[in-house]
Structure formats: C-alpha cells, structure tokens
Amino acid sequence: MPNPAVNPFAPTFGAPPPLFAGRDDILRRFDSALDTGPTHPDYTLLITGERGAGKTALLNVLEDHCAERGWQSITAAASTESLSTRITDEAQRLVADIAAESRRPRLRSISALGVGIEMVDEGRRDSAPARASLLTTLERLASALQEIGAGLLITVDELHDAERDDVRDVASAVQIVTRRQQRPLAFAAAALAFVENTHLADANMTFLQRCARARLDALDSADTRRAIRQPIQDSGGDIDCDALDEAVAATLGHPYMIQLVGFHAWEMRTNAAASVSVADVRAGIVEADHAMVGQIAGPIWNRLSAMDRRFLVAMLDDGDDSALSDIADRIGRELQYTRVYRRRLLDAGAIDSRSGARVAFRHHALRKRAQDAVREDPGLSPSNR
C-alpha cells in the first residue's frame, strides 16, 4: 500500500534504493556469464567506482539474480572482517545445510551429494591450514551445488580495505575452483577505483588483474529521472515536471545524490498530499549538497596531504576545468612535480583528467569543501600568499 507519509528514498550507504536504476549492461553481462559458466569472462568481476556510485547496491542485485536461479551467495566486506575466515565459515555452514537437506527423504534422489560432502580430504598436506580449509570447503560446496544444478556467488565489498595476504588467499582458492576445476563459483568484488594502483599493481594479484572490469559511472538522465520519479509515484505522491528536471540536473547522475535530493525534496512538501514542487526541490538540493560535502568530499579531503590540498585550492580560480600548467604556476612548482600530484589526486578520486594537460574536480562537493577550507584558512589560497 502506498503511504504518502513515509519517505521512499534511502540516502544511506549500503541501503538498497527504492528503485535500482540503470546498470543494465553490467547486469546483462553477468546474467550471460551465469548462463555460460566459468569460461565466460564476466564470471569473475571487479566493480570499481567512487564512494556513493552504487557498488554495494549492485553487489546486492547480483546476489538477487543468483538467488533467482537457486544459487547461494556468500557476502564479505573487507572493511570489517577477515575475508578468508568469513568465507570459510559461511561455506562450511552452507555445506552443512546442503548435507542436512540431502538427508531429508524428498531429496534422497540427489544422493550423489553425499560423495561431495564426504570429500573431507584428510590427505591434503598444506602448510597453511587456514588456506587449505578455505580451498577444500569451497571445493566441496561448489561441487555439491553443481550436483543440484546450482552454484555459488562470492561477493567481496570494499576490496581496497583488505589485507593483501587475505585477498591472495581468497583469490587463489577461488581461482582453483572456478578457473582450474571449472566449478560454478562466480566472484564479484567492489572497490574504489584507486585499487588499480594499490592491490592490483601487486605482481601477485594476477587473479584480480584478470577479472573483468565494470566501472560504475554516473547514471544517464533517463535512468536518473526514473530513479527519482517512480519511488515518489509508487508512494502515492507526484513531482511537477520542471521540479523533476531541476532535481535530475542537480544530481549529475550520482546515485547517492539521487537519493539525497529525492529524500530532502520529499521532506520539504508542505503536506502529504502535495506534489513535489520546484521550491521543494531547490530547498532539497541545498540539504543534499550539505550532505555530499560531509559524506563524499569530507572523507576524500581528510585523506589528502597539505600539497594535495594546495593543488585543489589552486583549481578554484578556474571554471569547469584547469590547465595543469596554470596550477604549477599557482603552487609555484615545476610541471613535472605537479604531474605527480595530479596522479595522486586521480587515485584519491578527487579529480578527473580528460587529457593529461587539464584537470577538473570529480565532485562539485569537493570544490565546495576546498572553498570552505579557504574560508577557514585564507592562507591556503595562492592569491593570498
């Protein structure tokens, strides 16, 4: 039942959106991989995107697609737990569940399962017991699931936060089961884009390097419109045409911003029966911008060095983008030196660079954060030195 009193939007990291918009191409690729099996390149997938781009939401949708096929999923988040421990524990639990199911009379026909379950492999002599048990558990689980025409999806969120040894243990076990043994074990990890220059630059990370990439960019304007309008209408409300246009333009297709603008515009309505107006959207955008500065720009800004910040402040004199040579002049450094900082800021998700010679703020919110910093400390600005 639509309830116009309940705000349908979900401006919270990791919260499923009321309408999951776009990403059709990635979902098509993934479905086709599940149809095809481990030989399909998208069977092992690395999703990258900035904070709030919708990585966690996408992993959840991939799990839903697997569940619809009767597959199992194991979800691990590198920022909060050891990946190998979590995956081993969950896999053991699933193996036990399947064994219990197979003992029920109605499932006796799949007695071949027993063979898989009994494969305890005492004979395996591996010097690293944790890894051996991860590998043997995954082997057992994947073959048991294969017997019943199903499979397993392992998702790893926040991969950039994982310990490298931990990633290597998981990667080598998954690699053996899916690539070498060709069992139905699909893998999807999500990370901030800088992981390409940290974990993936490591020579021992060949499995991850070979995963297919899915980069989450901004949603296009048709998907953004749907993501804002449909939840409003599904909740029994409506949004004026010009209000929707302004809301769509303000989000720049950024999923977190879509939820923020939708949420705050909805809150601004004078009464539950009113449709969302241009005034509601404009007031909502102000609130959303505040949240973006705090939630998106803040964490990026806090990780930057003093020179990184000077670089960004030097960009404030320009409009859409800045010439690297101008920035070098303003911070009083050689172009070569400035290029090193350009690289660092690209990796940190602070700037974009369409050509090597020009750079732009990745987020409007980060420009605002830099302006706030100058307001707090005018000495940061090159024009005040």
Ligand X SMILES: Nc1ncnc2c1ncn2[C@@H]1O[C@H](COP(=O)(O)OP(=O)(O)O)[C@@H](O)[C@H]1O
Output the smallest distance, CB 56 to Mg ion, in A.
Answer: 3
CA dist 172 and 134 (Å) reads: 10
365 binds, among ligand X, Mg ion, none (CB under 5 to 8 A by kind): none
Cα distances (Å, whole numbers) of residue 285 to 43, 207, 242: 39, 42, 14
Query: Of Mg ion, ligand X, none, which one does residue 52 interact with (CB within 5 to 8 Å by kind)?
Result: ligand X
Q: Rounded to whole angstroms, how far apart are CA atoms 197 and 141?
A: 33
**Residue 31, Cβ density class (10 Å: 0-12 exposed, 13-18 middle, ≥19 buried):** middle
Strand 212-215 and strand 44-48: the pairing is parallel
* Nearest approach, Cβ of residue 299 and ligand X (Å): 10
Q: Which is nearer to ligand X, 40 or 51 (CB)?
A: 51
Q: How far is the CB of 87 from ligand X (least distance, A)?
A: 20
Shortest Å, Cβ 250 to ligand X:
15
Q: Provide the binding-site residues for ligand X, judged by CB under 6 A.
A: 10-17, 20-23, 49, 51-57, 227, 255-256, 258-259
- Nearer of residues 154 and 327 to ligand X, judged by Cβ: 154
Nearest distance from C-beta of residue 285 to Mg ion, angstroms: 24
290 binds, among Mg ion, ligand X, none (CB under 5 to 8 A by kind): none
Nearer to ligand X, 200 or 292 (CB): 292
The dihedrals phi and psi of 332, each to the nearest 5 degrees, come to 70, 40
Q: Which residue has the tokens 């199911």?
A: 101
Comparison of 56 and 175: residue with beta carbon closer to Mg ion: 56
236 contacts: CB under 8 Å, gap ≥ 6:
2, 3, 4
Q: How far is the CB of 182 from ligand X (least distance, A)?
A: 31
Contact yes or no for 381/316 (Cβ under 8 A): yes
Give least dist CB 231 to ligand X, A.
Answer: 9
Residues in the chain: 385
DSSP string over 248-308: HHHHTT-HHHHHHHHHHHHHH-SSTTSPBPHHHHHHHHHHHHHHHIIIIIHHHHHH--HHH
What is residue 74's DSSP assignment?
A: E
CB atoms within 10 A of CB 135: 23
Q: Which option in Mg ion, ligand X, none does residue 11 bind, with CB closer than 5 to 8 A by kind?
A: ligand X
Give whichever of 296 and 328 is closer to Mg ion, judged by the CB atom: 296
The residue (of 143 and 259) whose beta carbon lies closer to ligand X is 259
CA distance 84 to 97: 20
Distance CA 108, CA 114 (A): 10
Query: Edge-to-edge strand order for the sheet containing 358-361?
Result: 322-323, 358-361, 351-352
162 binds, among Mg ion, ligand X, none (CB under 5 to 8 A by kind): none
Q: What is the closest distance, in whole angstroms, from the C-beta atom of residue 296 to Mg ion in the complex?
A: 12
Residue 63 or 147 with smaller CB distance to Mg ion: 63
Binding mask 2-41 toward Mg ion (x if CB under 5 A, else -) reads ----------------------------------------
| Closer to ligand X by Cβ: residue 56 or 88 | 56
What would the x/- binding string for Mg ion be over residues 35 to 74, using CB under 5 A? --------------------xx------------------
Residues that bind Mg ion (CB under 5 A): 55-56
